[in-house]
């Protein structure tokens, strides 16, 4: 680019990654500074979609993948003035030249983009454990909307009878339900002693029972895997035996994608993800980052954590975009709140699990109760299992876990608010929660659990 054209060019924000964090940053910055030239580069064919909706697309509850897309590249251009270049794989960043090099996957040519501010929002990458070959015809990871489209096409075309899920986290739970709704035999293989390692035993046990009741086979303590088949996996051998596998879905967790940050010289944190300040700025000049490639501060433990969630990514993008656009915003951290559905159960958590709390130096204990979701006399009342983790000495609330057939997703938010405000058990017990027989008993399960925990405090 000539010196004249460089001077005449408008200030430019270049975004790498076209989903939650990236497009939130692009939209916020453009809103604050309409004169800003904003370009987003995305490796896949889609931007601004709900990755969390992929299991419901695979299950056929959502028929059209377009329903998961908030805005198309064309709509970003016409409605927000943001240029989106899909099928552009960024391969290099030069912070000195403020220049990014990408490969146009449609043509194979390298293309250069100059920037004044850069936002790295490339997300995480699925962990593919040995011995799985990503080139195998029937082995799929689950990250992008394009992954979901390929999985659904494979099921529709090849009609696999046996589906094996590698990993026992919440994505595996959602995909197990999706595959059972499609009438397939489902097996989950998990290397840990139980599924849902981020939850305590009592909650994980209830979920395992729900899976069994819906004919999902769960095999834990899988220490070694081997695949059979040439070009496509036909079966998987594990310590517990051999399992037919017409389709393999790898749900073995996410790792932060930090390759570009390393090239740019941005510092990584203790978790291995990109480290940013409260403004979402990296250690590299003029470069911001957000989403699943970034570590966060855990507001309960006070330490660095890697908690890849869409809600956090959107907040990252909004904060980065405001600062890029000339405003002032900060992202202080998270308490780690999440919820998922598996068959008839809602399952949620926030804060620290018991083992995490003890590892973080708290004198931690936990209580678990089971109470009605509504007044007992009101029709169709269901049980809610509520687990509270707390510090026995100070009475500080440290975490909560819940499951039930209704009323879980918003109850966990009560505990999330309490954790974010560093409330004690006593303060939480005095919260003025709503009551009416169709929605809650006069003593909500959250309050019952908190009061039981208060009884276990050291006096």
Instruction: Give the residue numbers marked as catalytic.
Output: 52
Please give the C-alpha separations between residue 296 and each of 26, 52, 269, 273, in angstroms, as whole numbers.
21, 20, 9, 9
Q: Which two tokens stand for residue 122?
A: 């490339």
SS3 164: strand
* Strand stretches in 279-318, DSSP E: 287-289, 296-297, 304-305
CA–CA dist 351, 298 (Å, integer) = 8
Residue 192's SS3 state is coil
DSSP state of 380: T
Sheet with strand 383-391: strands edge to edge? 338-342, 345-351, 397-404, 383-391, 364-372
> Residue 94: enclosing H or E segment and its boundaries?
strand 88-94
Residue 213 has which token pair? 């009741």
* Helix and strand totals (H; E) in the chain: 13, 25
39: Cβ–Cβ under 8 A, 6 or more apart, which residues?
12, 13, 14, 15, 82, 83, 84, 85, 113
Among 314, 268, 266, 320, which Cα is nearest to 291's?
314
Contact 141, 165 (CB under 8 A): no
Residue 187 per-residue DSSP state: E
Give the span between the Cα atoms of 19 and 48, in whole angstroms: 4
Question: Tokens 């405000």 correspond to what residue?
Answer: 421
Alpha-carbon distance 122 to 138, whole Å? 25
Contact assessment for residue 162 and residue 246, using Cβ atoms and an 8 Å cutoff: yes
105-108, long-range: CB within 8 Å, 24+ apart, which pairs? 105/43
Backbone angles phi, psi at 100, to 5 degrees: -115, 140
DSSP 45: S
Q: Is the peptide bond before 131 cis (omega within 30 degrees of 0)?
A: yes
* Tokens representing residue 151 in the block: 């999985």
Q: Which residues pair with 397 in a beta bridge?
A: 390
Place of tokens 């010289």: 265
């Amino acid at each position: 680019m000539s010196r004249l054209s460089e001077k005449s060019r408008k200030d430019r924000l270049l975004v790498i990654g076209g989903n939650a964090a990236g497009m939130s940053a692009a939209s916020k910055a453009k809103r604050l500074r309409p004169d800003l030239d904003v370009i987003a580069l995305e490796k896949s064919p889609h931007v601004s979609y709900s990755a969390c909706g992929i299991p419901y697309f695979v299950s056929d509850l959502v028929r059209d993948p377009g329903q998961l897309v908030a805005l198309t590249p064309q709509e970003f251009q016409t409605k927000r003035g943001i240029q989106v270049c899909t099928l552009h794989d960024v391969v290099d960043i030069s912070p000195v030249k403020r220049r990014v090099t990408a490969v146009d996957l449609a043509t194979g040519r390298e293309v250069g983009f100059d920037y004044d501010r850069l936002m790295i929002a490339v997300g995480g990458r699925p962990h593919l454990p040995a011995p799985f070959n990503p080139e195998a015809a029937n082995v799929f990871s689950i990250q992008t909307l394009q992954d979901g489209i390929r999985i659904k096409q494979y099921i529709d075309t090849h009609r696999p009878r046996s589906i094996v899920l590698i990993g026992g986290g919440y994505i595996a739970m959602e995909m197990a339900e999706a595959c059972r709704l499609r009438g397939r035999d489902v097996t989950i293989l998990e290397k840990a002693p139980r599924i849902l390692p981020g939850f305590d035993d009592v909650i994980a046990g209830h979920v395992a029972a729900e899976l069994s009741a819906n004919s999902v086979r769960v095999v834990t303590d899988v220490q070694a895997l081997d695949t059979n088949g040439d070009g496509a996996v036909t079966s998987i051998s594990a310590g517990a035996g051999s399992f037919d596998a017409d389709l393999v879905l790898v749900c073995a967790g996410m790792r932060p994608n930090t390759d570009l940050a390393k090239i740019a010289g941005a510092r990584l944190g203790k978790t291995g993800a990109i480290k940013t300040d409260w403004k979402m700025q990296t250690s590299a000049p003029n470069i911001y980052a957000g989403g699943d490639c970034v570590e966060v501060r855990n507001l309960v433990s006070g330490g660095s954590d890697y908690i890849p969630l869409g809600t956090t990514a959107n907040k990252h993008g909004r904060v980065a975009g405001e600062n890029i656009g000339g405003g002032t915003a900060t992202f202080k951290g998270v308490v780690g709140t999440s919820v998922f559905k598996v068959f008839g159960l809602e399952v949620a958590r926030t804060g620290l699990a018991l083992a995490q709390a003890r590892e973080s130096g708290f004198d931690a204990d936990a209580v678990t109760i089971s109470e009605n979701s509504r007044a007992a006399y009101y029709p169709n009342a269901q049980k809610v299992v509520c687990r509270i983790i707390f510090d026995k000495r100070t009475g500080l609330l440290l975490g909560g876990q819940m499951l039930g057939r209704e009323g879980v997703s918003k109850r966990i938010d009560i505990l999330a608010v309490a954790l974010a405000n560093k409330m004690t058990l006593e303060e939480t017990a005095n919260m003025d929660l709503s009551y009416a027989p169709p929605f809650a008993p006069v003593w909500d399960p959250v309050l019952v659990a908190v009061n039981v925990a208060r009884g276990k405090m050291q006096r």
